[in-house]
Structure 1
Amino acid sequence: MTQRTELSEALFERASQYIPGGVNSPVRAFRSVGLTPRYIEHGKGAHIYDVDGNEYIDYISSWGPLLLGHAYPPILEAIERELHRGTSYGACNAREVEMAELICTQFFPSVERVRMVNSGTEATMSAVRLARGFTGRDKILKFEGCYHGHADSFLISAGSGLATFGQTSSAGVTARTAEDTLVAQYNDLESVRAVLEAHRGEVAAVILEPIMGNMGLIPPQPGFLQGLRQLTEEEGILLIFDEVISGFRAARGGAQELYGIRPDLTCLGKIIGGGLPVGAFGGRADIMDRLAPLGNVYQAGTLSGNPLALAAGITMLRELAAPDFYERLEAQGLAFEARIRPILEHYSDRLSYNRVGSLSTIFFRPGGVRSNAEARESDTETYARYFRGMIARGIYLPPSQYECIFLSMAHSAEDFDRTASAMDEVLREVLG
């Protein structure tokens, strides 16, 4: 269990002199788990290796996109082929057309038109602007604990990194922005109804993670998404599904396929870049056609539709389009759950476990987790001790209670056995 960390510590010290907090994304700082971040040198399959030579079974998968594992050969080959042609043109390229066709015809029937962007944050930000332009209304409704990236409107009662650091908002968000952002409770339809009744005719869009993934994994309760669809249709409000996490992971067509809901707009990211930076938003043709150059809602990006990212993403989606892929992915999720479930049940008075497809979370809270409020009751100090014990045994988990475990097709039965063995040891230590 003894690991060398000298090189990671030295890199973090250097980074802290020039990068705020030493990191380019807050959750990487490892502050909530009381460690110095590990600096990763390379990855292969389901394993990553840090600069000190430590090997880990990786359950982050770059926060979702590496469904096929690290350094998947066909994706590397696709990037290399495209790289020799050029890296960026600031002009149209054929990869944009291929990606749009795949998303609209192979995966998401609700997406009749799609526009590429460079991140999930750009996708959600642009979708909200489009909803406001389409409806002529100013306000949006989001859900406490749902995280949609770091645009100002989304940092009101957000999850993910903000939840990790115990913050409910961010400095720099104006009072007017806060006034235009309404908040309801996930899995509580009555809270939505109350907010909409208090602001009748003012709300442009309701945006949510249909499967909450940024307060840990919390599935929708029966009838919640269906009721939300009905309420938004009655009020002429656009329903936006942020499927940056659940898209391509919960099912072939994301949460909307799994639960039989057709949103007006959908936001995607991560997986459609095969590990390279990318995002997209799309939906009904009459809404999307309000975007410039056809309409009066402006959105642009020099690197949108970047050929390198799309070459990787197209290769990824073609693999995911195999007829049996999602049966095999669900089998992975079932195998992982079957291996760890008996261990977790031994501590049912201290733990809960949620899983949908290849996404899951172990909550250090008993009795199940169905809401943001219940997730926040988790024992984060004990989770930090658990994380430290697991990483010392070569198991790389999210450095926050409020994030998901991401499985890949590269994980093996041996990986699951090793993980379960480590989990059994560590939970005996931290829970007794």
Structure 2
Amino acid sequence: MEVAFVGAAAVPAAGRTVRRAAGGELVCTAAKPRLNTQRSTEIFEQAKKLMPGGVNSPVRAFRSVGGNPVVFDRVKGSKAYDVDGNEYIDYIGSWGPAIVGAANDEVNEALIKAIEKGTSFGAPCELENELASAVIDAVPSLEMVRMVNSGTEACMSVIRLMRAFTGREKLIKFSGCYHGHADMYLVQAGSGVATLGLPDSPGVPKSTTAATLVAQYNNLESVRQLFEANEGEIAGVILEGVVGNSGFIVPDVSFLKGLRELCTKHGALLCFDEVMTGFRISYGGAQAYFDVKPDVSTFGKVIGGGLPVGAYGGRREIMEMVAPAGPMYQAGTLSGNPLAMTAGLKTLEILRRPGAYEQLDKITKRLSNGLLEVAKETGHDMTGGSISAMFGQFFSSVPVKNFEDAAANQDGAKFGKFHRGMLERGIYLAPSAYEAGFTGLAHTEEDIDKTIEATRDVLKTL
């Protein structure tokens, strides 16, 4: 609705914009009220005095999209609620674990019962066997697993295992792929490192990363050249089965199968980092979805149902190198703790129910296709897609096949404005153009409708 004010002295009310109409009249147009984040801002200002950058993980910062982070008060289902009372449709889901919905009633009920028995034992418990069995049963390549406390810890441990088993030191990773913040992986890493535009991290010795070789994702020839130049020295290759830390990037199946052949030919191990993709793009992970069998794999997020967890596993002969069965040492006081095991077991039980993955695929595909259609309708270049409960889009006129494509072709400035516009309309997206998005079983058709309409509203303003 427009309300005309005659004369130059007219002043817009809060939440309104002013333009000059034909004839010299000032027209005050009703606009969407700005998002109230006063309490979030106060808490964040205090946090900056207590924690580096005001956060405990850089990926939570809003530096690349402008403004300050909103501070959450609670989450439920597909929604998040901040300390100022704003409601958001959440497409981060605690960065992946909330695949059955945040604060799921069944998971919570199981956790309450587990808490009554104790939060940590520091001794074996049967729940460890149960979750290990569930993971092994689901993932084609696994014969044994070791539970840890985070994806970073899983990826740090698996490279030690790959080196111990092969007796070699060198590792091939891919530019823009993120495998946690362990020293040997902070070479052309994605995720928060890419978002913040940081170089290889200070504090990481050159000697530590000297054995880390970097290839280009979806470029099999770049891997072949590294093997030929380092014959007999490469312990293994690690990659994200679907990249989620340079934005959502899908592998060519021929690329994955080519990696399997190269590793077999050169006596190296192939590792799928399934921390993000495990139990998300299919119950058996990326390796089941693409029908490629790695030697070892890492997991996290979903298998802990929202609690801190990680795991690595593979063929029995490889895993029996791990202490106390073998000589490769790795340990963790809280590894396999009963709360994480309980939440993971209940989450996997829900995902095994008939129709779960069909629903995830349906809702996510509708969201992804809707975003692309709205972008085309409003005259914006956008590319992207989805697999099951994982999706992503780039403001780019060309398909993105690797980190180099993402860095060279996407419009980061436009993404920043888009992110803020969506936030103001109650849509919570990752505050980085280099992160994938996540859906879950709690997302509804109404959530998708609102998101698509918000996208249309925002893109019309850019």
The alignment's TM-score, normalised by the length of structure 2, stands at 0.91
Which AA in structure 2 matches 1:50? D
CA contact (8 A) 1:32 1:165 kept: yes
Shift, 1:348, TM fit:
6.7
In structure 1, what is the equivalent of residue 292 of structure 2? 261
Partner of 2:157: 126
| 2:374 corresponds to which of 343, 347, 355 | 343
Cα separation, 2, equivalents of 1:109 and 1:358: 20
Letter in 1 for 2:264: E
Aligned to 1:32: 64
SS in 1 for 2:73: strand
- C-alpha distance in 2 between matches for 1:238 and 1:101: 23
Counterpart in 2 of 1:400? 432
* Aligned 8 A contact 2:176 2:190 in 1: yes
Give the gaps of 5 or more residues in structure 2: 1-32
The one-letter code matched in structure 2 to 1:39 is V
CA distance in 2, matches of 1:347, 1:104: 47
Match runs of 1:213-224 below 5 Å: 213-224=244-255
Count residues in correspondence. 429
SS of the residue 2:237 aligns to? strand
Map of 1:423 onto structure 2: 455
Partner of residue 212, structure 2? 181
Aligned residue identity for 2:415: Y
The 8 Å contact of residues 43 and 71 in structure 1, kept in 2 or not, is answered as yes
1:109, CA displacement in angstroms? Answer: 2.0
Aligned counterpart, 1:98: 130
Which whole-Å CA distance do the structure 2 matches of 1:354 and 1:419 have between them? Answer: 16
2:181 counterpart of 1:150: yes
Alpha carbons 2:179, 2:185 under 8 Å: kept: yes
Secondary structure of the structure 2 residue equivalent to 1:223: helix
1:103 alignment partner AA:
V
Give the root-mean-square deviation of aligned CA atoms: 1.1
CA contact (8 A) 1:158 1:168 kept: no
Q: Distance in 2 between matches of 1:352 and 1:177?
A: 37
Deviations 1:27-64 (A, max 9, x none): 21211111111110001110100000011000100110
Q: Distance in 1 between matches of 2:366 and 2:188?
A: 35
Deviation per CA, 1:82-120, whole angstroms, max 9, x where unpaired?
001101010001110000110111x10211000000000
Secondary structure, counterpart of 2:74 in structure 1: strand
Candidates 73, 77, 99, aligned match of 2:109:
77
Cα offset, 1:172, TM superposition:
0.9
Secondary structure of 1:61's counterpart equals coil
- Give me the whole-angstrom Cα distance separating, in 1, the residues matched to 2:295 and 2:224: 19
Determine the C-alpha separation between the residues in 1 that align with 2:297 and 2:381: 36
Can you list the C-alpha shifts for 1:213-264, whole angstroms capped at 9, x where unaligned? 1000100013000000000000000000000111111111111011110000
Select the residue among 380, 394, 398 that pairs with 1:363.
394
Secondary structure of the residue that 2:117 maps to in structure 1? Answer: coil
**Aligned counterpart, 1:44:** 76
2:133 partner SS: helix
Q: Does 1:3 align with 2:39?
A: no
Identity %: 49
CA separation in 2, counterparts of 1:244 and 1:389? 30
Q: Which residue of 1 aligns with 2:12?
A: none
Alignment-mate amino acid for residue 454 of structure 2: A
